[in-house]
Structure 1
Amino acid sequence: MYEQKKEYEMGRDQFLNCVKNNGIVSFCTADLYAIHTVLQEIEQRNGYAVIEVTSNQVNPEGGYTGMNAMDFRNLLASMARHVGLEENKLILGGDHLGPLPWANLPPTQAMEKAEILIRESVRAGFQKLHIDTTMPLGDEISPPDEEVITDRWIRLYQIAEEEASLMAEQDPDYEKPVYVIGNEVPVAGGNPVGREEIPQITNPESLKKTLCLYREKFCKIGIPDAFENIIAVVGDFGIGYSNREICEYPRGKARKLTEVLQAYPHLVLEAHSTDFQSPESLQAMKKDGIRIFKVGPELSYAHREALLALTRAERKFLPRECWANFPEMLEQAMENNPTYWENWYHGTEAEQRNMRMHSRLNRDRYYMNLPEVKSAEEKLLNNLGGEEVLPFVFNGIGEVAEKYLEVLE
């Protein structure tokens, strides 16, 4: 029951050295084309990376991919073997692990489901756990009190450690996971309606308060060493993207936060939503002390843009009766279930239609695994040569992956 599958996982010490010395990219995506491309890039560059999935993508109820943690773990191992990736180049992580998928439920029920998610993630061999309890649950007022956020985080941390201890009893070589905290976490999936303003920057004093709060609470419940298992803290660094614009990193703004961490030498800064940042901004972030770069939607955005380009080629060279109608099938799926986009895309019907197909927020990624959409994608690719056209799809995604990996070279 507690077997840890170790293929394609770098060791804990090796991972921590990579993070501290030069930084690491965390590719947070469940897009299989994106994962394949990233694994190939890592193998070709002889580099290192983290592959993560969010609790919305993969969870005990299947998420929007239909997979639980072990399903994803096994799939990733198979894909890594397929591209010939060395065993020590990759670590598996979970992002926004917590009650996020069940935030509409009362707090007690949401946290019970979050506990199951945490246990399954640890059993599946997830080694980097970003536990996120910053969201309001049920009828709570947003945002929750920082004491509540921290207490819930520690509750889920204890569940993870309990499960990890059970696994360690089964395997003396098992390495327990490391953790990421942050009481100011950028919105998962991009900014929804009404959040087009310039992203905030975490106040250094707020960061100090958060770190002190976690350490004090660990000491209060008798596990002071738990603080050493935290390797990174997420904050707001003034970056982000929306339907209309990209907010590039304001150079120098993370330096004061880096100075705060000088009192905590085991911690680094983790940046979420680095999607669509320019190479110059990424380099500036690294120079200012950010060591974990999280990217996800930009990869699936590149996948979608490649498919739309192929659609234009299909319609130029093939008669209408042969078309795969990929955009129409995707549009229909999104219209049938607006849950994943209606709070992100607003305006006239024409503006919403354009956003559904072209927005950087890429909410269409929630629909790409639907059978009718996948079938249309497969027909589109087959119409244009099948495997012969796949490099076109991979190349667009690869350019995104290269941008991030080159920051670390």
Structure 2
Amino acid sequence: MNSTNRLRALPARYASGTCTGITSICSAHPLVIEAALLEGVATGTDVLIEATCNQVNQEGGYTGMTPADFRQFVEKIALRVGFDTKRLILGGDHLGPNPWRHLPAEEAMRRSEAMMDAFVRAGFTKIHLDTSMGCAGEPVALPDETTAARAARLAKVSESAGDSTDYDRPLYIIGTEVPIPGGAMEALNHLELTKPDAAIETVEVHRKAFTALGLQDAFERAIGAVVQPGVEFGNENVVIYDRGKAASLSAVLKQVPQFVFEAHSTDYQPVQALSELVQDGFAILKVGPMLTFALREALYGLDQLAAFLDNLGDEETLRGKMERLLLAEPKNWEKYYHGDATERRLQRHFSYSDRIRYYWPHPDARAAVDALLRRLSGRKLPETLISQYLGTLYPAVACGKVESQPHALMIEAVRNVIRNYDRAAMVRHS
């Protein structure tokens, strides 16, 4: 079964009582991608990696990469680690006018069409259509009919671009009840789940919009809908999935067997909750900040280890250097973190939202990480210090499964997260 077929088969398998899912890796960090592909090599499974419209687009996004650049970036890592790119699925997430919503709607949509063309021509075969945001002069939230009409307009561009490539035909994800990318900004006590009637209406209004443009064949390849099942994370806490509260939403899938649900913001959910999500039809599990959170934990553990071995002062540590960078260039965290000085310092480094991830590509951060790795290069890292500062990795080191060297430890930290997701997505029969 090729990779696109695996995705396309999810709804039919769920409808037949076979509960299986797939992990969606939402990150552009090279070590995260390396870890995901290495896990794919080890398990012989497909790997789904997604890029958002703000991260990657025809104008470069905040990574500076076009869709074609991103494919090349991922495939270069795949070649290095021995991953078969035939098993690689690339997805475009939140594809729509979000990067240009400050512009009039028609201009924003024209740019969205150019972005869609670029994504599909670069072989992104999982397309999340998200046109739910208002543009200049429009309300923040748009009527379902407007959202669906704009989504269908982008799907038409996608279909045309797909005609000119050798890649599999695009599969579509629809849905407007999308959590805030990167997590909520405030403490969360409860969430409003998507109402069952609203989920059905989302499917039907998109079906009509696609049909109006003669895109019935394209809509047959719509396999998922984004809904809010009651999972989210803020800066300081995580709302854990409660399947009892989501039972009526899950039951909707019996009425629309063409679909499964796509769950965003599943980061930091326990394995049991992830498994229950898949069993209840939330078959596509998206994870992003938790992966770079795990990577940061590994980096800071190595930093503490090095500080002890070499008796370093705070100004020489990675954490100290990152604090200076975060304070000097606060634009990526300042409006998201609140509280007194101590609370904001805690959040800068340890927030579930993990906004520090935006700083790792910065030249100063790269130099600081490189300095830490050079300091530890060629040295045997004491197992007792790995136990102290990288405790979750100690068992694998102690039994010889993972080398006690920095790169291997960072990769293992990320793979641990991915394994939990893949375990939750394993085939089960209801």
**Same-fold status (TM-score > 0.5):** yes
CA offsets 1:215-245 (integer angstroms, 9 cap, x no match): 1222233333332121100000100111121
What residue is the counterpart of 1:219 in the other structure?
A: 211
Q: Decide which moves more: 362-371 or 311-320.
A: 311-320
> Aligned letter for 1:140?
E
- Runs of 4 or more consecutive aligned structure 1 residues displaced over 6 Å after TM superposition: none
Distance 1:324 1:179 in 2: 48
> Aligned letter for 1:303?
L
Is this contact kept in 2: 1:19–1:292, CA < 8 A?
A: no
Is this contact kept in 1: 2:188–2:239, CA < 8 A?
A: no
What residue is the counterpart of 2:173 in the other structure?
A: 180
Distance 1:18 1:24 in 2: 9
What residue is the counterpart of 2:381 in the other structure?
A: none
Distance 2:7 2:211 in 1: 27
Distance 2:170 2:189 in 1: 36
State the Cα distance separating 1:301 from its structure 2 match.
0.6
* Number of aligned positions between the proteins: 395
State the Cα distance separating 1:370 from its structure 2 match.
1.1
Is this contact kept in 2: 1:255–1:289, CA < 8 A?
A: no
Q: What pairs with 1:61-210 in structure 2 (closer than 5 Å)?
A: 61-167=59-165, 171=166, 174-193=167-186, 196-210=188-202
DSSP-derived class of the 1:33 partner: helix
Distance 1:106 1:338 in 2: 29
State the Cα distance separating 1:83 from its structure 2 match.
1.7
**Which one of the candidate residues 384, 395, 398 is aligned to 2:415?**
398
State the Cα distance separating 1:11 from its structure 2 match.
4.3
What residue is the counterpart of 1:278 in the other structure?
A: 270
What residue is the counterpart of 2:250 in the other structure?
A: 258
> Aligned letter for 1:265?
P
State the Cα distance separating 1:18 from its structure 2 match.
5.4
Taking a change above 3 Å as real, the CA distance of residues 140 and 334 of structure 1, as seen in their structure-2 partners, is farther
Distance 1:334 1:138 in 2: 31
Distance 2:214 2:7 in 1: 28
Is this contact kept in 2: 1:57–1:63, CA < 8 A?
A: yes
Is this contact kept in 2: 1:324–1:380, CA < 8 A?
A: no
Distance 1:116 1:90 in 2: 24
Distance 1:107 1:197 in 2: 35
Q: Which runs of 5+ in 2 are unaligned?
A: 14-19, 379-403
State the Cα distance separating 1:184 from its structure 2 match.
0.8
Distance 1:94 1:220 in 2: 24
Is this contact kept in 2: 1:323–1:380, CA < 8 A?
A: no
What residue is the counterpart of 1:367 in the other structure?
A: 359
Distance 1:116 1:290 in 2: 31
What residue is the counterpart of 1:377 in the other structure?
A: 369
> Aligned letter for 2:419?
E
What residue is the counterpart of 1:6 in the other structure?
A: none
> Aligned letter for 1:25?
T
RMSD between aligned residues: 2.2
Taking a change above 3 Å as real, the CA distance of residues 328 and 99 of structure 1, as seen in their structure-2 partners, is farther
> Aligned letter for 1:394?
I
Asked if residue 316 in structure 1 is aligned to residue 316 in structure 2, the reply is: no
> Aligned letter for 1:302?
A
State the Cα distance separating 1:160 from its structure 2 match.
1.2
State the Cα distance separating 1:114 from its structure 2 match.
1.7
CA offsets 1:235-287 (integer angstroms, 9 cap, x no match): 00100111121110011344333332223322111111110000110111122
CA offsets 1:84-109 (integer angstroms, 9 cap, x no match): 22344321111111222223333233
DSSP-derived class of the 1:285 partner: helix
Is this contact kept in 2: 1:315–1:323, CA < 8 A?
A: no
Is this contact kept in 1: 2:51–2:93, CA < 8 A?
A: yes
Q: Which runs of 5+ in 1 are unaligned?
A: 1-8
Distance 1:399 1:348 in 2: 34
Taking a change above 3 Å as real, the CA distance of residues 39 and 18 of structure 1, as seen in their structure-2 partners, is farther
Is this contact kept in 2: 1:314–1:323, CA < 8 A?
A: no
Distance 1:120 1:197 in 2: 40
Is this contact kept in 2: 1:59–1:67, CA < 8 A?
A: yes
What residue is the counterpart of 1:52 in the other structure?
A: 50
Distance 1:223 1:94 in 2: 20
Distance 2:109 2:356 in 1: 28
Distance 2:105 2:5 in 1: 36
Is this contact kept in 2: 1:122–1:163, CA < 8 A?
A: yes
State the Cα distance separating 1:324 from its structure 2 match.
5.1
Is this contact kept in 2: 1:106–1:138, CA < 8 A?
A: yes
Taking a change above 3 Å as real, the CA distance of residues 389 and 184 of structure 1, as seen in their structure-2 partners, is same
Q: Percent identity, please.
A: 36
What residue is the counterpart of 1:346 in the other structure?
A: 338
What residue is the counterpart of 1:4 in the other structure?
A: none
> Aligned letter for 1:290?
F
